[in-house]
Amino acid sequence: MIEIAATRIKLDEFDPWSHSHEDKVLKFLDELEVFHNVRHERIARFFGSYVDYTKNKLTLFREYLPNGSVLDRVKQGALEEHTALKFFRQTAEALAFLHGHKPQIVHRNVRGGGFL
């Protein structure tokens, strides 16, 4: 059984100066559509999304990974060198896979909180 995680995003985060987020949200959802077919052991599976314009929220559904993110681990204390190198290697493997994907996928939000 696969557990699902839901992430909610305020539509204002797409463009805080605009009252109409629809175009930016639709472009973002088009970009996410590529992830439906991405399968790699270092990348959480993406299952879909739901936009609720009445509540000004976008919900993303992805595979739940119980060990948290790299950022969560760093907040617990400094990582040992071998652990940091392992995370770095795993991140490089995932990014290399995305860059080699057809069509190529460029991750535009590389950060510790985004790696699980």
pLDDT of residue 25: 80
Reported as a pLDDT band with limits 50, 70 and 90, residue 81 is: very high
Nearest CA to 109 out of 45, 18, 49, 31 is that of 31
Domain locations along the chain: 1-66, 67-116
Q: Residues 3, 50, 91, 1: what is their CA dihedral angle, to the nearest 10 degrees?
A: 10
Cis peptide before 103 (omega within 30 of 0): yes
Round to whole Å and give the CA distance between 58 and 82. Answer: 37
Q: Phi/psi at 55 (nearest 5 deg)?
A: -105, 0
pLDDT, one tens digit per residue, over 2-31 is: 899 999 988 887 766 666 667 778 888 888
pLDDT, one tens digit per residue, over 92-113 is: 999 999 999 988 888 777 776 6
* Averaged pLDDT of the chain: 85
Instruction: Give the burial class of 19: count Cβ atoms within 10 A of its Cβ; 0-12 exposed, 13-18 middle, 19 or more buried.
Output: exposed
Q: What is 1-66's CATH topology?
A: Phosphorylase Kinase; domain 1 (3.30.200)
